[in-house]
A and B are shown apart, each in its own frame.
Chain A
Amino acid sequence: MAIEAGRYVLLVEDNPDDELLTLRAFKKNSINVEIRVVRDGQDAVDFFFSEDMEGGMLKDQLGLPAFVLLDLQLPKIDGIEVLRRIRKNSASKSLPVIVLTTSDEQRDVLKSYGLGANSYVRKPVNFKKFVETVGQLGIYWLTTNVPAENAS
């Protein structure tokens, strides 16, 4: 699969098993993209923003990821709050964020969309389905979708 050089995916995931399985799922789909992992909500916020994130500046050395895979239940700062801060910052407000979580509670789904999640995906227990899901997500957001930064 042709992926622009320097592009990467940010995985926000606190469960090491899920992290490993997600990486494996990318590999199974032959999606050769760099995947950076942060393991709690605070790290996710620090990853993007220097100092306090509300008015903070985006750290610019990396550039934005192609998309973010965001778990909701995270230590320190939960995924919903991470999403809120990403959307609040003008530099990252159009960044594709895919909520990838175990919960299919209605309030989580509604809150995520309400805060501008681009997609909400429930992690399937069945690994084959999980591989399929990650494959679809990866291909869609890395190749099909036109990101905001390319639109100008």
Chain B
Amino acid sequence: MNFEIDGQFQRLLFDTSPLGIAIVGSDGLLEGSNPAFREIVGREDAAPATLSVLELSHLGDRKELEAVLKGLTSGICDSARIAEHRFLRPDGEIRWGRVSARVSEDYTGILFLTVEDITEQQSAEEALRNHRDELQQEVEHRTKELQDSNRELEAFCYSVSHDLRAPLRALDGFAEAIIDDYHDKLDDSGRLYLDRIRAATTRMASLIDDLLQLSRVGRREMMKGRVNLSDMAGLLVEELRNGEPDRKVVTTIDEDLVAIGDRRLLGVVMQNLLGNAWKFTGKNDHARIEVGRGVSKGGREQFFVRDNGAGFDMTYHDKLFAPFQRLHNSTDFPGAGVGLATVQRIIHRHRGRVWADSEVGAGSTFSFSLPSSGSGTDGQVPHEESEDGN
């Protein structure tokens, strides 16, 4: 051996270093090593006779180390690094090392290899990679499940649209036929009962249509653009006035309310909110409906539809947006209880928020905000629905 470690201190460092250190001759033979190195490569001898350092490497990485050693011994470079190098221990275990190699300045033909054991890092990374792959597979699996269930839902809605309406047509048609053809044979209550059948049929038909609209809201592809809510509200109010020309309702619509979203879907939102405002002010002689804009605490633009109608008890506000939940009896204010569920569904699809404020007898304000960038993605729903709007 033509290399010695000088002095006590160097010996101490050599023996106790957590880095594996090997002294290698220009022929690649291992001439010395510290305990940390021996631990990594799984050998007991510090310098076994005629063992090339290359024999410690995993076959797949051996060439790279060989090239590095060659580069150093032939004087092409003084030092080199290998970021990831596999050592194959006699017990079959693979250890990953980060290897630095340099030419000794004092001893000709001697190379120092230092090896940092990065096996744990490597296995952590591998576990992470596996985990990521598993997650990816899980996502793909879930997506497929979701697509399947969406398809089923679509088929279901289609058959609801077709098959549930058909018997209603028969109910209404034949009730009408009895009224028509057997008018003389019926007394007043007979006719009344048939009218009730027909009225119930109409209600059920509109309920089915509302449900279909709710289901379509989730299926329709969104086309986002600038939507002038002021113009939209103006037209809708006009329609409502035409429907009930005798009602006197003062409406105020702020100008230039512009939202980013799908025109048709936002039309459904405004139609439902204005329709509700119109309906729930029905018993008010001085009905007022206001459409405007405000700013949230966070500086986000929000739109509102406000009325001075019947209002509702805020105790039940969590039921407000759930389908089929009604906070008024259907004699006072008819409806299926699907409208606000539809509104919420649409706003959520836009990744926006919708909330309500109300007081019994004083009216309600329904507000919503939409992401201004319009970057919302299909099918994403915000995590929480808070009431901090105003």
**Which residues of A come within 8 Å of B, CB atoms?**
15, 17-18, 21, 24, 73, 101-105, 123-128, 130
Contacts and interface: CB of A to CB of B under 8 A. Distances in A.
B357 interface: no
Chain B binding surface, main DSSP class: helix
Interface in B156-183: 158, 161-163, 165-170, 172-177
Chain A binding surface SS class:
loop
A71 to B, nearest CB: 10
22 contacts: A15-B170, A17-B167, A17-B174, A18-B169, A21-B170, A21-B174, A24-B173, A73-B162, A101-B162, A102-B161, A102-B163, A102-B165, A102-B166, A103-B161, A125-B168, A125-B201, A125-B202, A125-B205, A126-B172, A126-B202, A127-B169, A127-B172
Contact of A24 (B158, B165, B166, B177): B177
A34 B168 CA distance: 27
A47 to B, nearest CB: 23
B165 A130 contact: no
Nearest to A124: B169
B156 to A, nearest CB: 12
Contact of A102 (B162, B201, B202): B162
Contact of A103 (B162, B169, B174): B162
Closest 9 CB pairs of A and B: A17-B170, A125-B205, A127-B173, A21-B173, A127-B176, A102-B162, A102-B165, A127-B172, A125-B168
Nearest to B154: A105
Interface string B218-254: 0000000000000000000000000000000000000
A15 B165 CA distance: 12
A125 B162 contact: no
A17 B173 contact: yes
